[in-house]
Amino acid sequence: MKSKKLKLKRKVIIAAMIAIILIVVALLAEVIAPNDPYATNATMIRKAPSAEYLFGTDNLGRCVFSRVLYGARTTISSTVFLVAISFFIGTLIGMICGYYGGIVDEVLMRVADLTLAFPQMVVAIAVAGLLDGGLGGAMIALGITMWTSFARLARSHTLTVKQMPFITASRLAGKSGAYIIIRHILPNILEPVLISALTQIGTTMIGISGLSFLGLGVVAPKAEWGSMISEARAYIQIAPWAVLYPAAATIITIVVFNYLGDAVLEYRDNA
């Protein structure tokens, strides 16, 4: 039992370390990148990977390695920001619905049911199209459906915690609903909702990259993995590296964050 727990702990630490490395790389993109990711070079169009251009160049002679590094910053930061905002809004709504119940709960949960009735990507494409694309538009489009999973999870945990005698004791002590939600409910439901947020990072990254791939997310020439794949797929047969590296970066990052989420979940379940 103890050795299993130790193994799981090791798994969490390894996954967290890789995730931290990815985040640090994204943050230090400017320092690490050997070339300007936006500088075009007519003499270096679609060059294969070399010592000067580690991942080769794209159709405009831009350094793919530098663009992948800069793309990491765009993709990871926008994903983490979107998950954080959805987590905040969804958890707050879920706690209010779970604690107060009544008509507010009925209305908000039916809205959540309604948004969940459609596939997330279909709604996101429709909304991003209405908002004329852009990274902000893509984030809003994904965020519209994303908060619901946090709200549902937070609500169900709030309903459980609300039944605990310490909540009744706090109410008898004269504490307001807002106080009880912030001081008692939130700390006691935070762990499962945070783990859920961690597992959402991979899905959100697919969403943002997917919308950029479809031309509804990041606008050129800004470096972003989805838009890089979209641009380079036209000449994939002559310069496959221009698609391969941003695609590999996307897959690795998604796998790492999903692995981290699963590892934390497994560790918690066996704690």
Contact residues for other proteins, defined by CB under 8 A: 164-166, 168-176, 183-184, 187-188
Q: How far is the CB of 168 from other proteins (least distance, A)?
A: 6
d(CA 66, CA 85): 29
Q: Which is nearer to other proteins, 31 or 173 (CB)?
A: 173
DSSP state of 57: B
Inter-CA distances, 115 with 206, 249, 268, Å: 19, 31, 30
Of 156 and 168, which has the nearer Cβ to other proteins? 168
**Structure tokens that stand for 185 in this block:** 């409910």
Q: Minimum distance between the CB of residue 199 and other proteins, rounded to whole angstroms?
A: 23
Q: In the complex, what is the shortest distance from the CB of residue 165 to other proteins, in angstroms, rounded to a whole number?
A: 4
Q: Pick the closer one to other proteins by CB: 102 or 238.
A: 102
DSSP 8-state assignment for residue 175: -
Nearer to other proteins, 13 or 169 (CB): 169
Q: Which long-range contacts (CB under 8 A, 24 or more apart) does 209-213 make?
A: 209/75, 209/250, 210/121, 211/124, 211/125, 211/128, 211/133, 211/138, 211/141, 211/142, 212/135, 212/138
Nearest residue (CB) to other proteins, 11 versus 171: 171
CB of 13 to other proteins, least distance (A): 24
In the complex, what is the shortest distance from the CB of residue 151 to other proteins, in angstroms, rounded to a whole number? Answer: 22
When computed from its CA atoms, the radius of gyration of the chain, rounded to whole angstroms, is: 22
How far is the C-alpha of 183 from the C-alpha of 261, rounded, in Å?
26
